[in-house]
Amino acid sequence: MPFEVGDVVEGTVLNITDFGAFIQLPEGKTGLVHISEVANTYVKDIREHLKEHDKVKVKILSMDANGRISLSIKKALPKNNNNNNKERDPKDFVWQSNRNYNTNSSFEERLLKFLKDSDERQQQLRKNFDSKRRNTGYRRSNGY
């Protein structure tokens, strides 16, 4: 059976390297799971997650003309265990301070309030940056 991008298949870990793991797929094909595609968390040492001869489910991410197959273990996980594919509420992306704007006011009023708040934040950031800039670095003595 030929593979297609997006298929989830079972394979066996052949070899583990510092950058990923080579997986033996059905029909004798071999693919690579990059270390970033092993788990939903940061993976410092891939050997803590995989051992040689482990059976793993992998999702085929890409196949190139040279026969290289890119695989993912984390994307083969069920949806409820995969935090990267979790649907997010658009309200999660709203700044906390933006929630204080009166939604009953007109768009122009809210925009003016936003611009005023933004200018105040920028001035405060510049003030903090300038004060740190003045207090560090090499000081010259008189005459040099």
Which are the contacts of 113, defined by CB distance < 8 A and separation ≥ 6? 101, 105
| Residue 32 lies inside a defined structural domain of this protein | yes
| Residues contacting residue 122 through CB under 8 Å, at least 6 positions apart | none
Q: In this structure, is residue 141 part of a structural domain?
A: no
pLDDT tens, 2-40? Answer: 778 888 999 999 999 999 999 999 888 899 999 999 998
Structure tokens at 68: 């290289």
User: Does residue 23 form part of some domain?
Assistant: yes
Mind giving me the DSSP string for 25-49? Answer: PGGG-EEEEEGGGS-SS--S-GGGT
Nearest residue to 78 via CA among 57, 95, 109: 57
Q: How far is CA 118 from CA 56, 84, 96, 126, in A?
A: 50, 31, 13, 12
Q: How far apart are CA 96 and CA 26, in angstroms?
A: 50
Is 92 among the domain residues?
A: no
What one-letter code names the amino acid at 49?
A: H
Total-model pTM: 0.53
The pair phi, psi for residue 49, each rounded to 5°, is -110, -30
Structural domains in the chain (count): 1
Specify if 127 maps to a domain. Answer: no
Residue 19 lies in a domain: yes
Amino acid at 92: D
Lowest mean pLDDT among 36-50, 96-110, 116-130: 96-110
Residue 49 lies in a domain: yes
40 lies in a domain? yes
Q: What is the pLDDT of residues 46-103, one digit of tens each?
A: 999 999 999 999 999 998 888 889 999 999 988 765 455 444 454 444 444 445 556 6
Q: What is the CA radius of gyration of the chain?
A: 26
- Domain of 47: which CATH number? 2.40.50.140
- Containing domain of residue 38, as a range? 7-72
- The pLDDT score that the predictor gives to residue 138 is 58
